[in-house]
């Protein structure tokens, strides 16, 4: 997810039923799972209520906020899906968010380290760039990093027999492709603003045709790469499921 100022965009939906180790859900098992998830969450809320200073510290200390929300998110995923899928999901989310973060910093814009929300995704906040093309590339940086991760893991998977690499490649491609949906709040919605500049945006008049074509090519190229990996590895994932 990419967020600027007060605006946040959720871009990593909760994966359901994707853990190869998942058992068929039934009411009793589900109740047990909720108890396991809610008990620590309730304890955390009590702790935060008693220590408002801790909450303020998390909000104002980017590194601590990053580490704390990442750890909490990972723990929830371990409880819900098992450590193996939790690890895959966390790697994919971290790579995506650091793509946004690196793009913000690459354009010289202030940005906060990513924050993670269990079962929702994550977000990275940064300043709004003056250039609409830069804005589109900052949004694209998340899915593009996800594509790079997927491609790297796909390559490694051809050299090893470990299905973990196939799983990371596949889920990175799926989650990042989902984020390419061309509507806000997905990253794709912000990228499309660099293809069809909004009429009310003061940056639009300075966004020429060549810039629109460059953003279009980057968007389509990334989407095609992600689609290719999803289709390529779908059979393999289905076999291991
Ligand atoms: Zn994103």
* Residue whose C-alpha is closest to residue 3's, from 174, 141, 122: 122
- The mean of the pLDDT values for the chain is 83
Instruction: Identify the residue with better confidence: 224 or 5.
Output: 224
Q: Is the peptide bond before 185 cis (omega within 30 degrees of 0)?
A: yes
CA of 234 to the centre of ligand 1 (A): 23
CA of 139 to the centre of ligand 1 (A): 6
CA of 195 to the centre of ligand 1 (A): 18
CA of 31 to the centre of ligand 1 (A): 32
In terms of average pLDDT, the best of 34-48, 156-170, 205-219 is 205-219
Condensed to tens digits (0 to 9), the pLDDT of residues 22-47 reads 334 444 555 666 666 666 666 666 66
Domain boundaries, the chain: 81-240
**Residue 45: per-residue pLDDT:** 65
- Residue 131 DSSP class: S
CA of 187 to the centre of ligand 1 (A): 5
CA of 240 to the centre of ligand 1 (A): 28
Instruction: Identify the residue with better confidence: 213 or 59.
Output: 213
**Residue 160: per-residue pLDDT:** 87
Token code pair at residue 204: 């639009």
CA of 148 to the centre of ligand 1 (A): 14
- If pLDDT is split at 50, 70 and 90, which confidence band does 49 have? low
CA–CA distances in Å: residue 102 to residues 9, 26, 152, 183, 190: 17, 43, 19, 23, 17
CA of 21 to the centre of ligand 1 (A): 27
Lowest pLDDT segment from 132-136, 162-166, 229-233: 162-166
* Residue whose C-alpha is closest to residue 12's, from 107, 97, 126: 97
CA of 95 to the centre of ligand 1 (A): 10
First CA to last CA distance, the chain: 28
**Residue 194: per-residue pLDDT:** 94
Condensed to tens digits (0 to 9), the pLDDT of residues 89-108 reads 999 999 999 999 999 999 99
CA of 101 to the centre of ligand 1 (A): 10
Residue whose tokens read 């939790």: 86
Residue 152 has pLDDT above 70, yes or no: yes
**Residue 15: per-residue pLDDT:** 38
């Amino acid at each position: 997810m990419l967020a600027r100022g007060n605006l946040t965009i959720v871009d990593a939906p909760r994966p359901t039923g994707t853990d190869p180790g998942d058992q068929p859900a039934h009411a009793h098992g589900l109740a047990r799972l909720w108890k396991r998830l809610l008990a620590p969450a309730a304890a955390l809320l009590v702790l935060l209520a008693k220590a408002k200073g801790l909450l303020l510290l998390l909000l104002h200390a980017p590194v601590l906020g990053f580490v704390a929300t990442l750890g909490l998110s990972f723990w929830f995923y371990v409880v819900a899906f098992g450590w193996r899928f939790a690890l895959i999901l966390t790697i994919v989310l971290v790579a995506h968010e650091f793509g946004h973060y690196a793009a913000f910093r690459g354009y010289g814009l202030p940005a906060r380290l990513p924050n993670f929300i269990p079962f929702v995704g994550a977000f990275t906040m940064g300043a709004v760039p003056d250039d609409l093309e830069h804005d589109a590339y900052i949004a694209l940086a998340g899915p593009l990093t996800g594509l790079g991760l997927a491609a790297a893991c796909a390559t490694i998977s051809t050299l090893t027999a470990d299905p973990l690499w196939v799983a990371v490649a596949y889920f990175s491609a799926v989650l990042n492709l989902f984020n390419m949906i061309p509507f806000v709040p997905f990253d794709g919605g912000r990228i499309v603003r660099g293809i069809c500049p909004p009429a009310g945006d003061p940056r639009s008049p300075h966004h020429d045709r060549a810039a629109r074509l460059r953003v279009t090519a980057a968007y389509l190229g990334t989407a095609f790469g992600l689609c290719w990996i999803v289709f390529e590895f779908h059979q393999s994932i289905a076999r291991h499921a």
